[in-house]
Amino acid sequence: MYNRSPEHIIRVQVANTNLDGLKAIHAVYGGSLKAMTTPNRPRSRQAYKITWNSSKAERILGIVGPYLILKRPHCCLLLDFLRHRQKNKRLGSSHGPLDPKEIAIRDDYHRRIKELNRKGPREGDAQAYDDLANLNP
């Protein structure tokens, strides 16, 4: 499937239209602060994003993880991936190949995070809404 071993990189992004708020976060936690693509709609505001990659992303996940609600499953999966990746390094050197079984495991992590990020209704959403309705009679 691959001509060479793939890279599986962790990236965490925070986006908002409030530049001052993002600047405050950036001042404390670093990362890369950039303007996002200019909005197409005339009444839309400019948005900005902070991006953290690799070890910096891992640090951010460790800090914000306990406070996440909607993104907690994403955070747990990414931290699990990072622990797995630390134990299963490339063969030979940091640029060496990955064992095909390891590629399959990492690809499965990738598939699972893509599924968590997928837009639209998911299996089990209807049950979750029913459970919530039963909590508030």
**HEC sequence for the chain:** CCCCCCCCCCEEEEEECCHHHHHHHHHHHCCEEEECCCCCCCCCCCCEEEEEEHHHHHHHHHHHHHHCCCCHHHHHHHHHHHHHHHHCCCCCCCCCCCCHHHHHHHHHHHHHHHHHHCCCCCCCHHHHHHHHHHHCC
| Count of structural domains, the chain | 1
Mean pLDDT of the chain: 85
* Predicted local confidence at residue 1, as pLDDT: 47
**What CATH number corresponds to the domain at position 26?**
3.10.28.10
Return the minimum-mean-pLDDT range out of 8-17, 21-30, 90-99: 90-99
Pick the residue with more confidence: 136 or 71? Answer: 71
On whether residue 4 sits in a domain, the answer given is: no
On whether residue 98 sits in a domain, the answer given is: yes
pLDDT class of 97 with cuts at 50, 70, 90: confident
On whether residue 3 sits in a domain, the answer given is: no
* Predicted local confidence at residue 129, as pLDDT: 61
Say what the pTM is.
0.74
Supply the range of the domain harboring residue 77. Answer: 11-135
On whether residue 64 sits in a domain, the answer given is: yes
pLDDT > 70 fraction of the chain, expressed in percent and rounded: 80
On whether residue 119 sits in a domain, the answer given is: yes
On whether residue 97 sits in a domain, the answer given is: yes
What would the mean pLDDT of 41-64 be, rounded to a whole number?
Answer: 92
